[in-house]
C-alpha cells in the first residue's frame, strides 16, 4: 500500500520535469534556432513580399508606340529618397508582360544609383540598355524618359537624372539623345 | 375589319420611299447655277434662282448653312436672327434693317411658292454685319468664302513668244505655288485651301491659238492647275515675279524644233528621281548651302529591319537623291556629312555644317519601335531645358582684344547650345516639310516632335532630323526601300527647301 503513492509521486515528478524541460530549455532553443537566421538576413531581394508597399507611377510604351503611358503600381517601400529611388528603378526596369510593353531593353539591370544634394540622380545601368536597344530615335527617347520620369515624377527630391552605362558617362544610348548632362522631367512624352 | 389598313399601308410605303429618294437626289445635286460656299468645314452648294436677271438664294438654304432663324411676322415682315442679332426684311422693299441700321439691296425679297428668296448681295451687305466669321462674296465666280481661308483669285494669260509660248498665272492675294511635272503634264500647286478660278481658265479661242504648246489647262483639284503640253512642247522654265498683292508665276514653254531657243534647263543631276521636273526658280540668296546628314554608317548600322534593311544604307541612298535634286534644280550647294559607308562622330557632322556656313541642316534617319505596328515619318527638332536656353543667351559686354590693339565685343554661345538661336526657323522649316511630306509618305500621329537630339543641338543654323519611317514595321520596311518612296521623300525635301527659301527671301527670316 505504501509503495503506490511513492510510484505515483515519482511518475508525477518525471512528467513535471519533462514538461518543465520542454518549456524552459528545449523549446526556446528550438525557436531561437529557427528565428535567428531569418532575423539576421539583410533582405537583398528588392520586392520583399510581406514588406511595406507604396504606390508609384511607372511608365510603359503607349499602344501606338509614340508616347509613354503612366501606370500606378505597388512597389517596395524604401527608407529615404535614395532607397526609394532604387526601388522605383528596380520595379521600372523589371520585365513586364502584355499588355504592358516596356521601353527598357531586355536584360537591363541597375548597377548603382546615387544622388547629389542638388537633386541630380545618377542611374547606372548595365550594358544591355545600349546593346539590346532597337536603335530607333523614338525608342531611345522613350527609354531615356522612362527612367527620367520614373524618378522625377515620383520623388520630388529628384529634379533631374543622368544615365550612366557600366559606370561611365555616355554621349547617347544609340546615337541620338544627348546624355552628357542630366535631363529634367518631361511629361510631354507621356500620354 | 382588321385587314383594311394593310393595303393602304402597302400602297403608301413605296410612294413614300420614292418621294424620299427623289427629294434626297434633288437636294444633293442642285440643278442649274449654284453659289459655292467654302468654309473650313468643307464646301457646299446653294442653288441660285434667277429673278429678273438678278441672282437670288433661298432664305431657307442660308438659314441651314449659317444657323439662322427665319420667321415670317404677321404684318408681312421677315426676321432673320443670328445669335440674338436680327435682320428685318420687308416684302417689296429693296432694303434690310440690320440691327437697326438700313442697308440697300439690289432687289426686294421675292416669294417662290412657300419660300422666300433674297438677292445674293443680302449675304455681303446684311448677313456679314451680324455673322461671326468673315463672309467674302465673289459674285463673278459665284463663290462665298467663309472665314479666313486662303482662296486666291486666279487669272491665266497666254502669249505667243515666237519660239514658244508664255503662260502667266496671277494669284491674288499672293499665294505661293510649286511647279512639278508628272509625265508630260505640268502641275502648278498653290499653297491655299481652294482656288477662285474662271472656268475654263483660258477662253476657247486663246486655247486654240496656244494649241502647239498648250493642249489643255484646267483646275484638277481644289488647289492645282494642270497644263497638258501640245505637240511642239519641248521643255519649260518657271519663274516667280513678285508683285504687291499678286503672286505672278511665268511659265515659258520652249519648242522642240527651235534650235536658236535656249535649251530647256534640264539639269545634269547625278541621280534625279523620275518625277523631277526641269523647273528653275530664281537663284536663292537666303540659302546657298545645305548640309544633309545621312545618319550612322560604318560599324554603326543604325536600325536593322527584319528583312535585313540597314538604316545606314537607306539614309545614304536618300541623301544622295536629295543632293541630286537640290543641286541640279536649285543650284544650291549640298554637303553630305558622309558619302560612303563610314561612321562620323556626331559632333563632326554638325561641325561640317557649321564650318561651311550651311544655311540649313537636315539629318536623315529611319526609326524603330518596340511596338511592331508603329509607323509614319516624324520630323524632330532640338529641345532644350529652360536652364539651357538661359545659358545660350550671349553674355553682354564680352570683350576680347583684337589684333593690332583695341577691344571688340563678341557673342559667346556654348557650342552645344548653338541651335537655341535658330529654333524659330527650325520650326518653320519643319512645318513646311511636314506639309510637303503629307501627300507622299505616311506620317506619324505626332509628325513634329522635340527631343534633346545631340546632332541638332550644336547646329548653328535651322536644323531638323527626319525619321522617314519605321524599319521595325514590316510593311514600312518594304515601303522605305522602294524607289517611289525615296523619290517622294527627296521631292518633299526639295519643295520644302524652295518654300522655306522663298519665305526667307520675302523677309520672313533672318
Tell which B residues from 264 to 303 touch A, by Cβ distance under 8 Å.
Answer: 295-296, 300-303
Query: Is B500 an interface residue toward A (CB < 8 Å)?
Result: no
Q: Is the pLDDT of residue B218 over 70?
A: yes
pLDDT the model gives residue B51: 87
Q: Is the pLDDT of residue A38 over 60?
A: no
pLDDT the model gives residue B393: 57
The answer to whether B156 and B171 have CB atoms below 8 angstroms apart is: no
Q: B449: which strand partners?
A: B380
Q: Is the pLDDT of residue B293 over 90?
A: yes
pLDDT digits (tens, 9 = 90+) for A59-84: 999 999 999 999 999 999 999 999 99
Q: Is the pLDDT of residue A27 over 80?
A: no
The chain A residue lying nearest B368, using CA atoms, is A136
Residues in B closer than 8 angstroms to A139, CB to CB, are 367-370
Residues in B closer than 8 angstroms to A186, CB to CB, are 383
pLDDT digits (tens, 9 = 90+) for B460-492: 999 999 999 999 999 999 999 999 999 999 999
Q: For residues B290 and A149, give the distance between their C-alpha atoms in angstroms, rounded to a whole number.
A: 36
Q: How sure is the predictor about B362, in pLDDT bands with cuts at 50, 70 and 90?
A: very high
What is the three-state SS of B104-147? ECCCCCEEECCEEEEECHHHHHHHHHHCCCCEEEECCCCEEEEC
The chain B residue lying nearest A106, using CA atoms, is B370
Q: What is the pTM of this model?
A: 0.55
Residues in B closer than 8 angstroms to A176, CB to CB, are 365, 451, 453-455, 465
> Between residues A178 and B28, which one has the greater pLDDT?
A178
Percent of chain A's residues with pLDDT above 70: 74
From B484's Cα to the closest Cα of chain A, the distance in A is 23
Q: Is the pLDDT of residue B453 over 90?
A: yes
The answer to whether B452 contacts A180, with C-beta atoms less than 8 Å apart, is no
Q: How sure is the predictor about A14, in pLDDT bands with cuts at 50, 70 and 90?
A: low
Q: For residues A78 and A86, give the distance between their C-alpha atoms in angstroms, rounded to a whole number.
A: 8
The answer to whether A138 contacts B374, with C-beta atoms less than 8 Å apart, is yes
Q: For residues B478 and B472, give the distance between their C-alpha atoms in angstroms, rounded to a whole number.
A: 11
The chain B residue lying nearest A137, using CA atoms, is B367
Q: Strand B224-229's sheet: what is its strand order?
A: B177-182, B185-190, B224-229, B214-221
Residues in A closer than 8 angstroms to B304, CB to CB, are 135
Helices B311-330, B483-503: crossing angle, 10 deg rounding? 50
The answer to whether B368 contacts A188, with C-beta atoms less than 8 Å apart, is no
From A29's Cα to the closest Cα of chain B, the distance in A is 56
Cβ-Cβ pairs closer than 8 A, A with B, add up to 94
The contacts of residue B86 (CB under 8 Å, 6+ apart) are: B79, B80, B99, B130
Q: Is the pLDDT of residue B408 over 80?
A: no
- For B443, phi then psi, to 5°, come to -110, 150
- For B487, phi then psi, to 5°, come to -65, -35
Q: Is the pLDDT of residue B238 over 90?
A: no
Q: For residues B46 and B122, give the distance between their C-alpha atoms in angstroms, rounded to a whole number.
A: 14
From B358's Cα to the closest Cα of chain A, the distance in A is 21
> Between residues B232 and A105, which one has the greater pLDDT?
A105
The answer to whether B452 contacts A177, with C-beta atoms less than 8 Å apart, is yes
Q: For residues B491 and B45, give the distance between their C-alpha atoms in angstroms, rounded to a whole number.
A: 36
Q: Is the pLDDT of residue B289 over 80?
A: yes
Give SS3 for B222.
coil
The chain A residue lying nearest B378, using CA atoms, is A138
Burial B105-114 (b: 16+ CB within 10 A, else e): bebbbbeeee
Which residue in B367, B468, B451, B371 sits closest to A64, CA to CA? B371
Task: Give me the residue label for grid cell 518657271.
Answer: B238
The answer to whether B303 contacts A136, with C-beta atoms less than 8 Å apart, is yes
Residue B338 grid cell: 558622309
pLDDT digits (tens, 9 = 90+) for A161-171: 999 999 999 99
pLDDT digits (tens, 9 = 90+) for B167-205: 989 888 888 888 888 878 899 998 888 888 888 888 888
Q: How sure is the predictor about A32, in pLDDT bands with cuts at 50, 70 and 90?
A: very low
Residues in B closer than 8 angstroms to A61, CB to CB, are 369-371
* B69-72 and B54-58 beta bridge pairing: unpaired
Q: For residues A137 and B303, give the distance between their C-alpha atoms in angstroms, rounded to a whole number.
A: 9
pLDDT the model gives residue B106: 87
Query: Is B412 an interface residue toward A (CB < 8 Å)?
Result: no
The contacts of residue B50 (CB under 8 Å, 6+ apart) are: B33, B56
ipTM: 0.74
Q: Please state, as a whole number, how many other Cβ atoms lie within 10 Å of the Cβ of residue A109.
A: 15
From A112's Cα to the closest Cα of chain B, the distance in A is 24
Residues in A closer than 8 angstroms to B454, CB to CB, are 171-172, 175-178, 180
Residues in B closer than 8 angstroms to A178, CB to CB, are 416, 452-454, 457
In this complex, the residue of A61, A102, A139 whose CB is nearest that of residue B368 is A139
Out of B111-115, B209-213, B354-358, the most confident range is B354-358
Q: Please state, as a whole number, how many other Cβ atoms lie within 10 Å of the Cβ of residue A134.
A: 21
Task: Give me the residue label for grid cell 521601353.
Answer: A103
The contacts of residue B29 (CB under 8 Å, 6+ apart) are: none
Q: For residues B380 and B426, give the distance between their C-alpha atoms in angstroms, rounded to a whole number.
A: 10
In this complex, the residue of A136, A172, A184 whose CB is nearest that of residue B367 is A136
Q: How sure is the predictor about A20, in pLDDT bands with cuts at 50, 70 and 90?
A: low
Q: Is the pLDDT of residue B275 over 60?
A: no
The chain A residue lying nearest B303, using CA atoms, is A135
Residues in B closer than 8 angstroms to A141, CB to CB, are 451
pLDDT the model gives residue B386: 62
Helices (H), A22-158: 27-40, 80-93, 128-131, 137-154
The answer to whether B346 contacts A102, with C-beta atoms less than 8 Å apart, is no
Residues in B closer than 8 angstroms to A188, CB to CB, are 450
The answer to whether B454 contacts A177, with C-beta atoms less than 8 Å apart, is yes
Q: How sure is the predictor about A19, in pLDDT bands with cuts at 50, 70 and 90?
A: low
Residues in A closer than 8 angstroms to B466, CB to CB, are none
The answer to whether B369 contacts A102, with C-beta atoms less than 8 Å apart, is no
Amino acid at each position: 500500500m505504501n509503495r503506490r503513492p511513492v510510484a505515483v509521486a515519482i511518475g508525477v515528478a518525471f512528467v513535471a520535469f519533462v514538461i518543465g524541460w520542454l518549456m524552459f530549455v528545449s523549446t526556446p532553443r528550438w525557436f531561437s534556432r529557427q528565428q535567428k537566421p531569418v532575423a539576421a538576413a539583410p533582405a537583398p531581394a528588392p520586392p520583399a513580399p510581406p514588406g511595406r508597399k507604396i504606390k508609384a507611377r511607372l511608365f510603359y510604351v503607349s499602344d501606338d508606340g509614340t508616347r509613354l503611358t503612366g501606370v500606378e503600381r505597388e512597389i517596395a517601400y524604401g527608407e529615404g529618397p535614395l532607397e526609394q529611388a532604387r526601388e522605383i528603378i528596380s520595379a521600372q526596369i523589371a520585365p513586364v508582360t502584355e499588355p504592358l510593353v516596356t521601353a527598357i531593353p531586355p536584360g537591363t539591370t541597375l548597377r548603382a544609383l546615387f544622388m547629389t544634394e542638388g537633386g541630380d540622380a545618377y542611374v547606372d545601368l548595365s550594358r544591355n540598355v545600349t546593346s539590346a536597344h532597337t536603335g530607333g530615335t523614338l525608342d531611345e527617347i522613350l527609354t531615356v524618359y522612362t527612367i527620367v520620369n520614373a524618378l522625377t515624377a515620383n520623388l520630388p527630391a529628384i529634379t533631374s537624372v543622368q544615365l550612366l552605362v557600366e559606370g561611365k558617362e555616355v554621349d547617347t544610348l544609340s546615337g541620338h539623345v544627348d546624355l552628357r548632362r542630366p535631363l529634367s522631367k518631361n511629361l510631354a512624352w507621356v500620354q | 375589319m382588321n385587314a383594311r389598313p394593310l393595303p393602304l399601308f402597302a400602297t403608301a410605303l413605296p410612294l413614300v420611299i420614292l418621294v424620299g429618294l427623289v427629294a434626297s437626289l434633288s437636294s444633293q445635286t442642285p440643278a442649274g447655277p449654284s453659289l459655292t460656299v467654302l468654309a473650313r468645314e468643307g464646301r457646299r452648294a446653294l442653288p441660285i434662282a434667277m429673278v429678273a436677271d438678278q441672282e437670288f438664294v433661298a432664305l431657307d438654304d442660308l438659314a441651314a448653312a449659317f444657323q439662322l432663324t427665319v420667321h415670317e411676322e404677321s404684318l408681312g415682315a421677315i426676321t432673320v436672327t443670328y445669335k440674338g442679332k436680327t435682320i428685318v426684311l420687308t416684302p417689296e422693299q429693296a432694303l434690310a434693317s440690320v440691327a437697326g441700321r438700313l442697308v440697300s439691296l439690289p432687289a426686294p425679297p421675292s416669294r417662290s411658292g412657300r419660300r422666300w428668296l433674297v438677292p445674293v448681295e443680302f449675304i455681303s451687305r446684311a448677313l456679314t454685319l451680324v455673322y461671326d466669321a468673315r463672309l467674302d462674296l465673289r459674285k463673278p465666280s459665284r463663290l462665298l468664302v467663309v472665314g479666313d481661308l486662303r482662296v486666291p483669285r486666279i487669272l491665266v494669260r497666254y502669249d505667243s513668244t515666237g519660239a514658244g509660248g508664255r503662260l502667266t498665272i496671277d494669284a491674288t492675294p499672293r499665294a505661293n505655288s510649286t511647279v512639278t511635272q508628272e509625265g508630260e503634264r505640268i502641275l502648278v500647286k498653290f499653297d491655299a485651301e481652294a482656288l477662285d478660278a474662271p472656268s475654263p481658265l483660258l477662253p476657247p479661242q486663246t486655247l486654240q491659238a496656244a494649241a502647239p504648246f498648250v493642249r489643255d489647262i484646267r483646275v484638277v483639284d481644289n488647289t492645282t492647275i494642270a497644263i497638258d503640253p501640245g505637240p511642239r512642247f519641248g521643255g519649260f522654265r518657271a519663274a516667280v515675279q513678285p508683285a504687291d498683292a499678286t503672286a505672278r508665276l511665268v511659265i515659258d514653254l520652249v519648242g522642240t524644233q527651235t534650235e536658236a531657243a535656249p535649251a530647256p534647263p534640264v539639269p545634269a543631276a547625278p541621280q534625279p528621281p523620275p518625277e523631277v521636273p526641269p523647273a528653275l526658280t530664281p537663284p536663292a540668296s537666303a540659302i546657298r548651302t545645305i548640309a544633309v546628314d545621312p545618319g550612322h554608317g560604318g560599324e554603326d548600322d543604325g536600325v536593322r529591319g527584319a528583312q535585313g534593311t540597314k538604316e545606314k544604307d537607306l539614309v545614304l541612298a536618300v541623301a544622295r537623291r536629295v543632293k541630286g535634286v537640290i543641286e541640279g534644280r536649285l543650284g544650291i550647294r549640298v554637303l553630305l556629312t558622309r558619302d560612303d559607308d563610314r561612321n562620323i562622330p556626331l559632333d563632326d557632322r554638325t561641325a561640317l555644317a557649321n564650318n561651311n556656313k550651311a544655311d540649313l541642316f537636315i539629318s536623315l534617319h529611319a526609326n524603330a519601335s518596340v511596338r511592331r505596328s508603329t509607323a509614319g515619318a516624324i520630323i524632330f527638332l532640338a529641345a532644350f531645358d529652360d536652364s539651357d536656353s538661359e545659358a545660350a543667351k550671349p553674355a553682354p559686354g564680352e570683350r576680347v582684344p583684337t589684333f593690332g590693339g583695341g577691344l571688340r565685343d563678341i557673342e559667346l554661345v556654348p557650342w552645344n547650345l548653338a541651335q537655341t538661336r535658330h529654333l524659330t526657323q527650325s520650326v518653320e522649316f519643319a512645318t513646311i516639310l511636314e506639309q510637303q511630306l503629307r501627300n507622299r509618305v505616311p506620317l506619324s500621329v505626332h509628325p513634329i516632335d522635340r527631343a534633346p537630339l545631340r546632332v541638332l543641338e550644336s547646329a548653328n543654323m535651322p536644323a531638323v532630323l527626319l525619321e522617314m519611317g519605321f524599319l521595325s514595321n514590316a510593311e514600312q520596311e518594304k515601303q522605305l526601300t522602294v524607289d517611289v518612296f525615296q523619290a517622294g521623300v527627296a521631292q518633299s525635301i526639295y519643295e520644302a527647301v524652295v518654300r522655306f527659301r522663298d519665305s526667307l527671301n520675302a523677309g520672313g527670316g533672318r
